[in-house]
Each structure stands twice: as structure tokens, then as C-alpha cells.
Structure 1
Amino acid sequence: MTDRLKALADAGVSIWLDDLSRERIETGNLADLVRERSVVGVTTNPTIFASAIANGERYDAQVRQLVEGGVGVDGVIFALTTDDVRNACDVLAPVAAGHPADGRVSIEVEPTLANDTDATIASARRLWASVDRPNALIKIPATVEGLPAITATIAAGISVNVTLIFSVERYRAVMDAYLAGLEQAQAAGIDLGTIQSVASFFVSRVDTEIDARLEKIGTDEALALRGQAAVANARLAYAAFEEVIASPRWQALAAAGAHPQRPLWASTGVKNPAYSDTLYVTDLVVADTVNTMPEKTLQAFADHGEVTGDQVTGRAAEAQGVFDSLAAVGVDLDDVFLVLETEGVDKFKVSWTELVATVEAQMAATSGEAGA
């Protein structure tokens, strides 16, 4: 089973796990995935933490201690999540030592700050200081307000995972924000070689939204386009990445020691059971990218995934043809990406609310035990 994942890694795709829990860390499961499943990074979000905290007893002692110390819910969440990310960074440290672009563990700024630039910057700096590991990544959403926060955070020498990217247009703005941050960091005398970044381009949600619109249109031409938009969108994003990497602006930064901001394919769990469960891995194989997968997708690829060479480079014209066809049958692509970003931010906020509720319940349970 590991041969398929090794083949994926050998093709230049960094395999990151889209999940983390204290149980994974303390039982050695995360270390096993690194050793046996070619996993070289981890991404997290509030939903992942809420599930981990709700389903495990490994947080109880720390929650009890924090409650006894008078810490409120926000402080408890901060302590639990940064501790997990710090410890996961330590598990991944040997990977980072050999390949600094990997061995990374991501932690997200509070989603309720997605439309507040200054608060996002402050949150990113606080998280970075608390985790205190060079192989951490701070996740910042690619909202309009998030773009200057990305620049400021990179300029401070903090490594960033830009999340919630749906459109190529916004992706270009993200890459510009990264380069601007590097330029500011260079002017401040910061070693550019210490800064890493990925740009998380969401995949499956694009098909979910566009497929629903195609089915509503209902023509044979529209229905024939189902399941093609997400991969085409990612291939166009990669072509934009190639343009930036070839630019004189990037070449000057690379000469000063900067690392490219690698494209990361996120939301790669297939939501439509009619599609192959490895679709968003197999069809997006290309060197120097990251694919962050839920464990279900990871195991599916280990079982039956296929690597048949580079599936992205040189396919921008083909991908643009898909988008031209989508527009021709009546899909409003600008509206698609607006809806996806708005819903994405809203889902992040709901996830945060769920995390708060989960931790409050744990704190209440702990208080009840103390009073018993």
C-alpha cells in the first residue's frame, strides 16, 4: 500500500495530512504516517480541533488545569491548539531538517477575523510566537482584507499558509502579496531563506458549486461538463504560478534566497460518490506542489491510486477550454467564486463557533468534576 504513496511523493507531490489530534501525536500514529505513508506535513482547522477535543480524553487534564487557573474559553482554545501544533512540529522536525519546505504544521488565525486586516496580523504574530517552532505555518484566508495581512506577516519573517483560495484572479493577488512581503522582509534585513509559504487552492468545492449550476441548467451540453471544473481551475492556477516563477521580480527574490510559494491542493476529499475517490490527487500530479488530504483520501490513494506522470503542466489551454464551455452554457463564473469565498468564510466561522461550544462543554464538565 505504501508503494502508491511513495510513487506520488517521487513525482514531486508533498503529501500532507489534513487532520491532527493529540491522540495521533501521543500514540505515535502521526510518526507512523510519516514513516510508513510518506506524510510530510499536517494542516489543521477549527473543525479538526473540535472533533479531536470532543472525541478524546487526552485534553481533559490540561482543560482542568486551565479552568482551575481561571483561563477563559478563548485562552483554553489557544493553549490546547498551539500545544498540539507545537508537538506535531516536533514530530515533523526531522522532515523539515532534510527538506525545509516540508515538515510543516499549519494553524489557522481565528476565522472571525477574516475581514479584519489588523486583527489577523496580530493573531498571526501571537500564534507564531506561541507555537515557537520554525516549521509552523500560520493560515491566513485569502480574503480582500487578508491580502495585506499576508504581506505584513511574511514581511515579519513569519511563514504562511494562505487558505481559502478559489479563483485564479484571487490566487494572482495572493502571489503578489507574498512577493511584496518578501521584498519588505529583504529590506528589513530578514534572511529570506527562513520564510516558507504555500497557497491553498480549494478544489472539490468548485465542482460541488458548478455541478449544481450545471444540473439546474439541465441541457446535454451543461451536464456533459460536470466534474471538470475543479481540476481545470487548479490547472489554470498552476499556469499562473509558472508565470510568476518565470518573472524577473521573482527571479530577483530567488537570487536573494527566497523560496517559491508552492501551490497546495486543498479540499481534495471527493464529495460526489459518482467520481473517483482519488480524482483530486491523480489528476493534479505535478512536481513542487502539496496535496493535503483527509485520511480517508490518503488511504484510498494508498490502496488504488495511480500516478501516471505530470497531469498539470502544459494543460492550461485545455483547462481554459473547459471554462469557456462553462461560460457558454450559462455558468456565471465570477458569481461562483464570490459565492464560494463567502460560503467558505462563513463555514470557517461556523467551525470556530463549534470549537468554542465544544471547549465550553469540556470546561463545564471539568468544573462539574471539580465540584463533585
Structure 2
Amino acid sequence: MTVMSSDRLAQLSAAGVSIWLDDLSRERLNTGNLAALIRDKHVVGVTTNPTIFANALSHGEAYDEQVRELAARGADLHATVRELTTTDVRNAADLFRDVYTATNGVDGRVSIEVDPRLAKDAEKTAAEAQDLWKTVDRPNVLIKIPATEEGLPAITRTLAEGISVNVTLIFSVERYRKVIEAFFAGLEQAKANGHDLRGIQSVASFFVSRVDTEVDKRLDALGTDEAKALRGEAAIANARLAYAAYEELFAGERWSALAASGANAQRPLWASTGVKDPQYSPTRYVDQLVVPNTVNTMPEKTLDAVAEQAEIDGDKVTGTAGQAQEVFDKLSAAGIDIPDVFRTLEDEGVEKFEKSWQELLDTVEGQLGKAKN
């Protein structure tokens, strides 16, 4: 029997995976596209990043009217970018308000990222996070903070203020463990500061496809049969090891004390789930990472592929840590420098978002110039 596309997405949702769209634009909001995805495709959240906003603002005319209004008011470049992006996030948050209410605040979330140029500055990142939280002024927003070494204290400081956080750009399990520690510390401080922990939500965005892209490139360079056999194995194994770390740390005494105070667990979020290599199934980073109490944020192309051809066949993650570790043992034995892979991916991730942010600034600067002439 053929499974209908909506049934595949329903199965994914029923398996405990929250489906979030990795995209947002004024056009999606104005045309009703996002509302339709919520209604028809089980989409219960949205994530944004500097690249998504740069793409949105460089295409079409959806932002022209607001740019003209801001130009007439004398808004400078940075104020204009802030106004344009937070308006989209605020309107999306309002669109997801019913989902937010129905899920007791677990889903119905919209993420917005701090200026990526601050990724190496904890103090400025924390200040920017607070400013974004106040500017959007919606309870279902998540502030995205990169999981750089410098970002870790910013994560703690932001949570300590009662602000919900999406920790992004996580590549290694080692760094993920530090993210969870930062999360625990933030909630402990939030409790000491008098915040109701029940109102704070967090996700930890663990990047997937980029791991295969980098590791496969290095395996191809080695060129041995042993290396070729390991292509496409690293990313899913890495995510499965991350989930094992999640299970371990959220079963400990430190978390138990926070849970007793009403805290919500920080859910793992599988990010970068669009397939980069056409040799691979377009749904592999979704249907191979099904496990309860997680989020999968995917571009619409991947969402459509999942709807049409994914094989949702229950939990694919729990109990797989041993097998996943074997993959990394083999990668190391083949000559792959795993720590260097993760350093490279983090540096590239920050650099890509910085470049996209500059593209966003350049685009808006051009639009402001036209509006003033």
C-alpha cells in the first residue's frame, strides 16, 4: 500500500520528532505559504540564520515598502536590518502562537540568530541576545547563539535572564557536552534569579550533513578502498553519539534537581539536514535520525522529499552508540583527524554566517540608497 505524503510527515511527528522549517521570508508570510505548511505539512516551528535572511532580502520586492518607511524615518543600516528581520520573526511567532499554546510552549518556536560577528565575544553576544529578546517581544522566540568556546558563557548568561535559547553550530559531541553543561548552569542561575523555569525552553542544534561533506572530502583524498567504504557514515554516527550524550547527562542528578523545579529538557535538534551529495538519499538525515523528543529542522526541499519518499520506521537512534563509535574508530584508523574535522567545520560555519551577514548588510544598504533617491 502506498503511504500518502501527509502520512509520512504525520508518522514522523507521531514518532516524537518536531518538524521545523529551516527558512523564513516575508514572501512566505504574505502569501500564506507558511500558514499552509503549518496546516498541511505538520510544521511546528521555524529556524532562521543570516544566510536565510540574506537570501530573503535579496529576492523580490516584499521588503521594499518597509525599507522606504525606515528610510523616511532616517533609520541607519543596522537599525533597518534589525527592524526587517525582527518583524518577520515577530509575525511568524504570532502565526505559530496556537501551536505554542497547544504544546505548552514546547513547539511553535521561531529562532533568530545574534550577529555572527560576535561569535567570539561572550559579553557582546549575551547583550545582543537580550536586545533581540526584548525587540521581538514574543514568548515563543528562541535566540540563537553559536556554540563556540566564547559562546558557551553567553548561553549561560542568556538563560540566566529567563530567555529561551537555540544553541547553534554544534559539530562535536565533546562541544555538545559543554553546551549541556552551559544549559544546566544557565537554568541554575535563572532559578537563583527568581525566574520560573517552566517558561524557559532550549534546543541544541547539532549540524549533520556538513560532517559528511567534510569527512567524505578527506576520505576521497585518501582514495583507499577502506576509506571509500566509510563515505557517508560519519554524520549519522556523530548525531547518534550526541543523542547518547544527551541521554547520559539528562539522567544525572544535576538535571534531576532542575527537573524537580519545573525545568524543560534541552531537546537535541538535527540541523543542516539537507543532503549535499546527490549520491545519497535526500531523506537520510531525517529518517535515519528518528528518535523521540527531538527536532528536525529542514529546508522545504527536504521536507517535500520526506513527504514523498521517507521510510519512517520507528526509533533509529536509541541503543546505537556502540555501532556509531565503531564508525569513528574506523575513521581514525583510516587516517581522518577527527578533532581537526570539527575545528574546520566550526570555523567555516562562523565564517559562512559572517559572510552572509555582510551580504545582508550590503543588500539592505543598496535598498536604503534607492529608497532615499
Shorter-chain TM-score category?
A: over 0.9
Tell me the equivalent position of 2:353. Answer: 348
- Of the candidates 51, 65, 76, which is equivalent to residue 69 of structure 2? 65
Tell me the equivalent position of 1:24. Answer: 28
Q: CA separation in 2, counterparts of 1:235 and 1:25? A: 34
Q: Residue 27 of structure 1: CA displacement? A: 1.6
Q: CA separation in 2, counterparts of 1:39 and 1:338? A: 32
Q: CA separation in 1, counterparts of 2:232 and 2:295? A: 21
Q: Does 2:257 match 1:252?
A: yes
Q: CA separation in 2, counterparts of 1:54 and 1:345? A: 21
Tell me the equivalent position of 1:116. Answer: 121
Deviations 1:83-104 (Å, cap 9, x if unpaired)? 1000000000100101111000
Q: Does 2:277 match 1:264?
A: no
Aligned ranges for residues 194-233 of structure 1 at < 5 Å? 194-233=199-238
TM-score (norm 1): 0.98
Q: Does 2:15 match 1:11?
A: yes
Q: Residue 329 of structure 1: CA displacement? A: 0.5
The CA RMSD over aligned residues, in Å, is: 0.7
- Of the candidates 73, 80, 85, which is equivalent to residue 84 of structure 2? 80
Q: CA separation in 2, counterparts of 1:346 and 1:138? A: 19
Write out the 4+ residue segments of structure 1 that deviate beyond 2 Å after TM superposition.
none
Count of aligned pairs between the two proteins = 368
Q: CA separation in 2, counterparts of 1:155 and 1:107? A: 19
Structure 2 unaligned regions, length at least 5: none
2:177 match: secondary structure? helix
Q: Residue 363 of structure 1: CA displacement? A: 1.1
- Of the candidates 307, 313, 337, which is equivalent to residue 308 of structure 1? 313
Q: CA separation in 1, counterparts of 2:49 and 2:328? A: 30
Q: Residue 307 of structure 1: CA displacement? A: 0.3
Tell me the equivalent position of 1:155. Answer: 160
Which AA in structure 1 matches 2:367?
Answer: Q
Q: CA separation in 1, counterparts of 2:193 and 2:366? A: 45
Q: CA separation in 1, counterparts of 2:60 and 2:184? A: 41
- Of the candidates 38, 56, 67, which is equivalent to residue 42 of structure 2? 38
Which AA in structure 2 matches 1:190?
Answer: H
Tell me the equivalent position of 2:95. Answer: 91
Q: CA separation in 2, counterparts of 1:46 and 1:54? A: 12
- Of the candidates 54, 57, 71, which is equivalent to residue 53 of structure 1? 57
1:137 match: secondary structure? strand
Q: Residue 58 of structure 1: CA displacement? A: 1.9
Q: CA separation in 2, counterparts of 1:58 and 1:330? A: 50
Deviations 1:127-156 (Å, cap 9, x if unpaired)? 000000000000000000000000000000
Which AA in structure 2 matches 1:195?
Answer: I
1:106 match: secondary structure? strand
Q: Does 2:280 match 1:275?
A: yes
Q: Residue 68 of structure 1: CA displacement? A: 1.3
Tell me the equivalent position of 1:334. Answer: 339
- Of the candidates 105, 117, 121, which is equivalent to residue 110 of structure 2? 105
Deviations 1:67-124 (Å, cap 9, x if unpaired)? 1111111110000000100000000010010111100000000000000111001100
Q: CA separation in 2, counterparts of 1:367 and 1:7? A: 51
2:281 match: secondary structure? coil
1:127 match: secondary structure? helix
Give aligned-pair identity as a percent.
Answer: 65
Q: Does 2:370 match 1:362?
A: no
Q: CA separation in 1, counterparts of 2:241 and 2:326? A: 11
Q: CA separation in 1, counterparts of 2:65 and 2:314? A: 48
Structure 1 unaligned regions, length at least 5: none
Q: Does 2:366 match 1:324?
A: no
Which AA in structure 1 matches 2:82?
Answer: F
TM-score (norm 2): 0.98
Deviations 1:205-255 (Å, cap 9, x if unpaired)? 000000011111111111100000000000000000000110010011001
Which AA in structure 1 matches 2:18?
Answer: S
Q: Does 2:189 match 1:190?
A: no
Deviations 1:11-69 (Å, cap 9, x if unpaired)? 00000000001111122111110010000000001111122112121211110111111
Q: Residue 188 of structure 1: CA displacement? A: 1.1
Q: CA separation in 2, counterparts of 1:319 and 1:350? A: 34
1:275 match: secondary structure? coil
Q: CA separation in 2, counterparts of 1:56 and 1:162? A: 31
2:124 match: secondary structure? helix
Which range moves more in the overlay, 268-277 or 54-63? Answer: 54-63
Which AA in structure 2 matches 1:69?
Answer: R
Which AA in structure 1 matches 2:17?
Answer: V
1:77 match: secondary structure? helix
Q: CA separation in 2, counterparts of 1:320 and 1:50? A: 38
